[in-house]
């Protein structure tokens, strides 16, 4: 390949671009993970990550992808043959369901159309019908990365409580943590699953379980085999600032920096930034005359926008043109929506100019690939950004 000037635009919905400050932190020499300097740093990180999940309870950190954290959530709380109620919001919800079955759990999958988040009312009705409390856990993906739909977790909690059902609530926030407002304690979540490579602005390699008191109690009677994923020994070691096995030391350096950055900006400001970039992206898509996959406006994601291809055109051919002509990567459609959509990631270390560059690449790519569309998407996005910027300036002045 010949050299391409400039920086590659990585606009998939994760892994996201890693800011220089985090890269410099990761670049520090590895320290003794049994020594006092590590203990000080790890204790700070273990406390700090709780604030991102908005929990006072422990957060377990694993050297793993988000899939590992999915498994950890299940094996620490459930026993062979237990029934999990899961909701089909998209590709990643489907993968979690398959993982559960491989572990020896039974699953009941409420069918979805991949254009909406989870239906809290449907979950509540199923739980009301479960008078024998056979269902032991409800598993929901907060932000479905394959579709750009957000599930209303607070409403799911209300539905569980209204059904007076004791099932645990397990939630995947892999693509929403640090990007979209999430409240582990307030929403009564028992296990929240997270990953490092999206809103936390790190490379892949760390995963998380935020755990409630109810989940910790469930661990005592859970009978699925676990060793690497076991919470009990990890929590005991974490209490002293250490880990039960060799941690991903340099990624923890990066996490320390990322937590600091998120607090410097302010979590509410981070969430607002993601929402305005999402609104600007949707304005561009609508101006192009294309359709957004997520059909329910209240479920629109602040982290990514999935765009449907018009007239039977293949999304992968468009993505190929954009990559080759403009050195920009967009997210592919997965499983049921393979080659039918492309996904624009607008999460993590991301600002207005990055968004305009991203949308400019998409608009030029649509033309270069011969995809029918109207002009003016970038202008529409700029109007949203300019309007929200003026509103923010007025608020700051007041």
**What whole-number distance in Å separates Cα of residue 34 and Cα of residue 42?**
11
Indicate if 337 and 207 belong to the same structural domain: no
pLDDT digits (tens, 9 = 90+) for 226-277: 999 999 999 999 999 999 999 999 999 999 999 999 999 999 999 999 999 9
How big, in percent rounded to 5, are the helix, strand and coil portions of the chain? 45, 15, 40
The pLDDT, as a whole number, for residue 261 is 98
Indicate if 95 and 185 belong to the same structural domain: yes
Indicate if 87 and 132 belong to the same structural domain: yes
CA 65 to chain centre: 12
Asked if residue 199 is part of any domain, the answer here is yes
Indicate if 184 and 230 belong to the same structural domain: yes
Give residue 335's domain range.
9-16+266-397
The pLDDT, as a whole number, for residue 334 is 98
Query: pTM score, two decimals?
Result: 0.96
Domain boundary among 238, 263, 288: 263
pLDDT above 90: percentage of residues in the chain: 96
Indicate if 216 and 295 belong to the same structural domain: no
Q: Name the pLDDT band for 52 (thresholds 50, 70, 90).
A: very high
**What whole-number distance in Å separates Cα of residue 180 and Cα of residue 298?**
13
Indicate if 307 and 371 belong to the same structural domain: yes
Indicate if 189 and 324 belong to the same structural domain: no
pLDDT digits (tens, 9 = 90+) for 173-232: 999 999 999 999 999 999 999 999 999 999 999 999 999 999 999 999 999 999 999 999
Structure tokens that stand for 3 in this block: 């050299």
Structure tokens that stand for 61 in this block: 């950190």
Exposed e or buried b per residue across 381-398, where buried means at least 16 C-beta atoms within 10 angstroms of its C-beta: bbebbeebeeeeeeeeee
Q: Which string of DSSP letters, residue by residue, matches 331-344? A: EEP-GGGTTTEEEE
| Count: domains in the chain | 2
Torsion of CA 255, 260, 264, 270, to 10 degrees: 20
Indicate if 239 and 117 belong to the same structural domain: yes
pLDDT above 70: percentage of residues in the chain: 97
Indicate if 324 and 370 belong to the same structural domain: yes
The pLDDT, as a whole number, for residue 396 is 44
Structure tokens that stand for 90 in this block: 């998209």
Domain boundary among 263, 286, 302: 263
**What whole-number distance in Å separates Cα of residue 3 and Cα of residue 369?**
22
pLDDT digits (tens, 9 = 90+) for 309-348: 998 899 999 999 999 999 999 999 999 999 999 999 999 9
Q: Name the pLDDT band for 395 (thresholds 50, 70, 90).
A: low
H/E run at residue 36? helix 36-53
Is the predicted pLDDT of residue 365 greater than 90, yes or no? yes
Asked if residue 319 is part of any domain, the answer here is yes
Indicate if 311 and 285 belong to the same structural domain: yes
**Mean pLDDT, residues 73-94 taken together:** 98
Domain boundary among 219, 241, 263: 263
**What whole-number distance in Å separates Cα of residue 147 and Cα of residue 91?**
8
**What whole-number distance in Å separates Cα of residue 332 and Cα of residue 342?**
5
Indicate if 290 and 315 belong to the same structural domain: yes
Indicate if 175 and 259 belong to the same structural domain: yes
């Amino acid at each position: 390949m010949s050299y391409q000037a400039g920086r590659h635009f990585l606009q998939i919905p994760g892994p996201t671009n890693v800011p220089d400050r985090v890269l410099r932190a990761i670049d520090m020499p590895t320290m003794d993970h049994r020594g006092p300097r590590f203990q000080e740093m790890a204790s700070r990180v273990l406390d700090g990550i709780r604030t991102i999940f908005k929990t006072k309870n422990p957060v377990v950190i694993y050297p793993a992808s988000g899939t590992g954290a999915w498994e950890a959530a299940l094996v620490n709380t459930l026993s062979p043959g237990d029934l999990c109620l899961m909701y089909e919001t998209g590709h990643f919800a489907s993968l979690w369901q398959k993982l559960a079955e491989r572990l020896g759990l039974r699953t009941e999958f409420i069918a979805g159309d991949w254009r909406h988040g989870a239906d809290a009312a449907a979950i509540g009705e199923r739980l009301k019908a479960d008078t024998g409390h056979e269902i032991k856990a409800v598993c929901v993906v907060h932000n479905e990365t394959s579709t750009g739909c957000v599930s209303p977790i607070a409403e799911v909690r209300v539905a569980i409580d209204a059904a007076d059902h004791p099932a645990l609530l397990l939630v995947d926030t892999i693509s929403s943590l640090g990007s979209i407002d999430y409240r582990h304690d307030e929403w009564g979540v028992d296990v929240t699953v997270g990953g490092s490579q999206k809103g936390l602005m790190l490379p892949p390699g760390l995963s998380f379980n935020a755990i409630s008191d109810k989940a910790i109690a469930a661990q005592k009677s859970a009978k699925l085999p676990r060793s690497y994923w076991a919470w009990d020994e990890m929590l005991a070691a974490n209490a002293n600032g250490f880990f039960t096995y060799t941690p991903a030391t340099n990624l923890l350096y990066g996490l320390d920096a990322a937590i600091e950055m998120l607090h410097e900006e302010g979590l509410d400001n981070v969430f607002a930034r993601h929402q305005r970039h999402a609104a600007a992206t949707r304005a561009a898509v609508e101006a192009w005359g294309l359709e957004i996959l997520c059909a329910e406006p209240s479920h629109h994601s602040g982290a990514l926008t999935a765009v449907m291809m018009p007239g039977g055109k293949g999304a992968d051919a468009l993505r190929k043109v954009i990559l080759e002509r403009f050195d920009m990567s967009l997210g592919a459609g997965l499983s049921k929506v393979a080659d039918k959509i492309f996904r624009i990631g607008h999460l993590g270390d991301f600002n207005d100019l990055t968004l305009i560059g991203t949308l400019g690449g998409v608009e030029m790519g649509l033309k270069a690939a011969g995809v029918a569309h109207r002009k003016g998407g970038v202008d529409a996005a700029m109007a949203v950004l300019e309007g929200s910027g003026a509103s923010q300036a007025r608020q700051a002045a007041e």
